[in-house]
Homo-oligomer: A and B are copies of this chain.
Amino acid sequence: MNTLFKALNDPTRRAMLELLRERPLTAGEIADHFTFSKPTISHHLDLLRQADLVTSDKQGQFVTYTLNMTVMDELLGWLLQFKPSSDAPQ
């Protein structure tokens, strides 16, 4: 949960997730959408992977990142515990 919130606590990483919503992208393609250096992008992707928000797959020279939303369900569950409707319908 900590790792998840940490990964989400950065606008660049959230933008990356939104990019990957369309389709899987290579590290380079992702980097093209930002003005940060490649190592910085790589570091952000690493944090997203640590949180299991993305998976990475190396194909030759390229590393393709794919959105993995299963972990978001955990967040969704955490969120819903605050929704009174889930506890006491009314």
Contacts and interface: CB of A to CB of B under 8 A. Distances in A.
A6 B1 CA distance: 14
Interface residues of A, number: 23
Contacts of A6: 9
Given A5-B8, A6-B9, A79 B83 contact: no
Q: Which 5 A-B pairs have the closest CB atoms?
A: A9-B9, A5-B9, A69-B82, A5-B8, A72-B82
Interface of A: 1-2, 5-6, 8-11, 14, 17-18, 21, 67, 69, 72, 75-76, 78-79, 81-84
Given A21-B82, A67-B82, 13 more contacts: A5-B5, A5-B9, A5-B14, A6-B9, A8-B8, A8-B9, A14-B78, A21-B81, A69-B82, A72-B79, A75-B79, A76-B76, A76-B79
